[in-house]
Amino acid sequence: MSASWVPHDIRDAVIDFTQLWAKKSDIALTRFISWLGIAPSKYYNWQSRYGKVNEHNGLIPRDFWLEECEKQAIISFHNQYQLDGYRRLTFMMLDRNIVAVSPSSVSRVLSAAGLLQRWNRKTSKKGTGFVQPLKPHEHWHIDVSYVNLCGTFYYLCTLLDGYSRYIVHWELRKTMTEKDIEIIMQRAREKFPDAKPRIISDNGPQFIAKDFKAYIRLTGMSHVRTSPYYPQSNGKLERYHKTIKTECIRPKVALSLEEARTQIAEYIRYYNEERLHSAIGYIAPKDKLEGRDRQIFKERDQKLEAARAERKQKRLDMRQRLDCHQILTTAANINSLTQQDNFSISN
């Protein structure tokens, strides 16, 4: 057994043994310590804790530790939104004033409850070789994805703002020619007439057509195509298409084109205005687009600080009440003993 930690009963037995035989044999105590292979500082540390249980390395409660009701609130909220990660849950609870904690605290609570699943991930190469936009409408990503409705494939075309992840415009069509792409982009430009973004697309036939190049030139925009056979180059929009299919199109199973358009329109409203996006600090894309992100981050920090201060004050008040109770109990005991002594003297 390592000498760095031993049970308190064995530790006390060593103290008793060395002191007993040091007296009987008149051998110096330091000699016994060296024979046992224990450092003198450790031996005298054991001697100072003689008869005490090993609690010197135990956890010390902190003022800002979560309360049990807050832990239960985190677990209950996770059970309502099991498909969302712990970071998104953190800021959802913060914005709804359910509980103000940090993502690491939520992770610890869910891990302790066995509700947090972990998996190995490859090292991310996100952002390498690509200059990210610094303001809205610098980059618009455009792509076309297939949607299967009752055995018929339709085309879902989406324009996404690369800075805020806001869905600028989308359409679900039966065909997707170069003319359709121009119509979709023109409708997007009508929503933001002052925008002159760089269009980022893949090498689809609609985007390499001469008419599309002429349209880009006439509107004053620029166009960049991603590397062939490398969809990660347009990963922001590829990830969005995966999200909308996973959370909207496949679970709801639309039975007609109009029903699918209604469902997608409702989901995109939720995606733009309510859903917390992990890539932009767990805020809604519309808030990021309209520049409310810093105010939201500031309010979240203030809520966290206020919650920590409130928990600290609660524990301080509890300690003060316990101290007062102990003082009152001691005073009552002294008063009782005094009365007993006076009674004895009088008798």
Per-residue pLDDT of 230-262, as tens digits, reads 777 888 999 999 999 999 999 998 889 999 999
Q: What is the CATH number of domain 139-290?
A: 3.30.420.10
Q: Domains of the chain: which residue ranges?
A: 8-48, 64-116+292-326, 139-290
| Distance between CA atoms of residues 265 and 285, nearest Å | 15
Among 160-164, 188-192, 321-325, name the one with the lowest average pLDDT. 321-325
Helices (H), the chain: 8-25, 29-36, 40-48, 68-80, 86-95, 103-112, 178-191, 210-219, 235-244, 250-252, 257-273, 285-289, 293-346
How, if at all, do strands 167-173 and 152-161 pair?
A: antiparallel
Q: pTM of the prediction?
A: 0.66
- For the record, the structure tokens of 61 come out as 């409660």
Q: What is the pLDDT of residue 192?
A: 93
Examine the pLDDT at 141 and tell me if it is beyond 80: yes
